[in-house]
Structure formats: C-alpha cells, structure tokens
Amino acid sequence: MGKGSGYGKVILFGEHFVVHSIPGVVSAVDSSTDAEVKKATKTNIRDERKTSKGYGEEKRLQQIESIERMLTAMQLDPKLPLDIWIGGSLPGFSGLGASAASSVAIARAISEELGLNLSNEEINAVAYEGEKAYAGNPSGIDNTAATYGGLMWFKKNPAGGQDRVEKIYVKQPVEIVIGSTGKTANTKLMVEGVAERKKKDHEKYDPLFTQAEKLADAGRKALETGDLKKVGELMNENHKILQEIGVSSEELDLLVDMARKHGAIGAKLTGGGGGGCMVALTPDKEVQSKISSAFKTAGYEFLATKIGIQT
C-alpha cells in the first residue's frame, strides 16, 4: 500500500490575480489530506473527508478526471485500476486547496505503491496536471503549497516555464480561523468569469490588478517584519478588490464582517470565491476562540488553525 499527504492552504494575497501572473502570498495550514493507494482489479475511490454539503458529489467527476490526468502525467495508463482512500484532518471546503491537497496526497501514494520514487518537484508537476480538472487554468499556487508546505511568495511564469517560488519566514506561526459558507464553489467557472470580464473592461480591471500586485508586495514585507496589524489592514483591502472583480458573495461578506466585529485584525475571502471560504487573522488564541464561537453559534463550519509553520 502506498501512502501520501498534501497540505491545505490559504491565500493571504492574490487569489485570481495569480492566474494572470500577478504575485501572491500563500501559506500551508496545519491540516492535511492523506491518501492510501493499492493496486486493484477495478478502480474504487473512498473519500472519507469531512466536507461541506454537496462537495463530494459536486467534485466527483472532476476527481475522476484529475486522477486520470495525473496517471497520464506519470506516463501510466489513465484507466489503471486502483483502490484509493482519501481522508485526513483537512476538511473538503472550497477555498482551502482541498483538491490540490488530495492531488498531491494521491500522487505521492501512487508513486510509493508503484515504486516510481517521484521527487517533490515531479509530484508538484503531476498534481498541477490533476488541478486542471478542478480549475481549468490553475495558477499552480495551490499544488505548490500542498507539496512543499510553509509560507511562500508565488508568481506564475506566463510563458509556462518554471514558476517563481520563494519561501517567506515569519518569527512564529500565526493563528487564523477559516470560515466556510457551506457553498461549494466551481473554481473553473469563477476563474473563467474573471478572465472574461477583464478582457471586456480593461479600464476597470487593469488598475485593480496593479493594486493587487502592490498589496501582495506590501503584505510580504509586513509578514517578514512581523507587522501583523499591517498584514490585517492589507487583507481587508484585498477583500475590497475581490468584491470589485465580482468573486465575493453575500455569505462571504457576512463571515468577513462577523470576524472583524469579533476581533479579527484582517479578514477576506480565500480561494476562488463565489462561496467556499474566508480567512480571519487572529493573532492570539483568545481572538481565535471568540471568532470560532461566533461562527459556531451562527451555524457555520470553521477550521481554527495556523499559518507560517516551517516545514
């Protein structure tokens, strides 16, 4: 039996913009997806992750396509029969990089079961191919975070070559709360929607993309110097831009407002938007607990975790 794991992630700065080669800041979270793979006579996938309602059904066909894409990338028969189990501590919520985490975990488990001995770089490339089933035109930021962990600066290579990835080091891990709207988002449609609107309205979108790049740069510097108050302010600004490009939702805005009212120093949607998750910066256990309780009372699922854990 082959085993593998992949980290979940939150994007602190740059979702959607990273697809267009604007830099972003992403952190793995202290939760992961695990996978086990065995050779079999027919393919069987058992997904036992805790998920938001409808997530498994919504992603089922994409999951099958993803596995076939990864097998092809490994130069294997895409219909190779495998028994695959998926679990772990990372919930299946849209926006947490759950699909990338599962792709990395499955790729590692297949590599181990079949004795392929793939390197992290090769696992990352295989998982990127798997991500195409979920995101259409993925930036590569999710699978990179899922593969390597830690906090990083990411810039997609527009020519399709090596992406720019640089580790960011913080003095100590930072508490966050991720709130789930309970709505499963279609990342592929959200990414295509932004690209289409940008193409039609350069006058509106170009300045927003320029602003997003400045925010990501300032966010990186604030993280490196330990200025969490500044990081929070920049996250709030980033959320406004994401609202303006049409990827937030009523539920996301509600959770963001709720988190800020209960002491978050910054809160924004994370991931593709249109549902899925938001992230609140809660730089101490007391604020983290207060926001977690508020989400629980209001009936929303959440994950209290940390970013900036070095791997």
End-of-domain residue from the set 131, 153, 168: 168
151 shares its domain with 184: no
31 shares its domain with 160: yes
CATH for 108 = 3.30.230.10
Q: Element (H or E) spanning 219, and its range?
A: helix 202-225
Lookup: tokens for 72: 């092809």
Compute the Cα dihedral for 91, 94, 96, 100 and give only its sign: positive
19 shares its domain with 161: yes
Question: Rounded to whole angstroms, how far apart are CA atoms 99 and 120?
Answer: 17
Question: Rounded to whole angstroms, how far apart are CA atoms 114 and 253?
Answer: 46
279 shares its domain with 217: yes
End-of-domain residue from the set 133, 148, 168: 168
288 shares its domain with 225: yes
Lookup: tokens for 192: 């295509």
Return the active site residues. Answer: 142
Question: Rounded to whole angstroms, how far apart are CA atoms 155 and 171?
Answer: 23
288 shares its domain with 247: yes
91 shares its domain with 58: yes
117 shares its domain with 226: no
Instruction: State residue 186's pLDDT score.
Output: 82
Q: Element (H or E) spanning 202, and its range?
A: helix 202-225
User: Which residue is associated with the tokens 């789930």?
Assistant: 180
Number of separate domains in the chain: 2
153 shares its domain with 257: no
Q: Element (H or E) spanning 4, and its range?
A: strand 2-13
137 shares its domain with 219: no
240 shares its domain with 105: no
Instruction: State residue 54's pLDDT score.
Output: 64
CATH for 211 = 3.30.70.890
End-of-domain residue from the set 168, 184, 205: 168
Confirm if 106 and 37 have CB atoms less than 8 A apart: yes
SS3 296: helix
Range of the structural domain that residue 184 is part of: 174-307
75 shares its domain with 210: no
Question: Rounded to whole angstroms, how far apart are CA atoms 208 and 216?
Answer: 12
Question: Rounded to whole angstroms, how far apart are CA atoms 125 and 127?
Answer: 6
Mean pLDDT by 10 residues, the chain (311 residues): 96 92 92 96 93 71 95 97 96 86 98 98 97 87 92 90 90 93 86 93 95 97 96 98 96 98 97 92 94 97 88 68
